[in-house]
Amino acid sequence: MLPKYNRILLKLSGESLMGERNFGIDPKMLEQYAIDIKAITNIGVQVAIVIGGGNIYRGMNEAETGIERAQGDYMGMLATVINGMALQAALEKTGVRTRLQSAIKMEQVAEPYIRRRAMRHLEKGRVVIFGAGTGNPYFTTDTAGSLRAIEINADVILKGTRVDGIYTADPEKDSTATRFEKLSFDDVISKGLKVMDMTAFTLCQENNLPIIVFDMNTVGNLLHVVTGKSMGTLVS
Encode pLDDT of 190-235 as tens digits: 998 988 999 999 999 999 999 999 999 999 999 999 999 988 999 9
* Domain assignment present for 1: no
- Answer yes or no: is 144 within a domain: yes
For residues 43 and 151, give the distance between their C-alpha atoms in angstroms, rounded to a whole number. 23
Residues with Cβ within 8 Å of 129's Cβ and at least 6 positions away in sequence, in order, are 48, 49, 50, 51, 84, 87, 88, 98, 99, 100, 101
Q: What is the residue type of 85?
A: M
Structural domain span for residue 34: 7-235
Distance, in Å, from the CA atom of 209 to the CA atom of 214, rounded to the nearest integer, reads: 16
Q: Which of 23, 8, 36, 31 is nearest to 215 (CA)?
A: 36
Residue 2 lies in a domain: no
Q: Is the pLDDT of residue 65 over 90?
A: no
* Rounded Cα gap, residues 112 and 128, in angstroms: 12
* pTM greater than 0.85 (yes/no): yes
pLDDT in tens, 99-136: 999 999 999 999 999 999 999 999 999 999 999 999 99
Domain CATH code at residue 223: 3.40.1160.10
Quote the number of domains for the chain.
1
Residues 6+ apart with CB under 8 A from 44: 3, 6
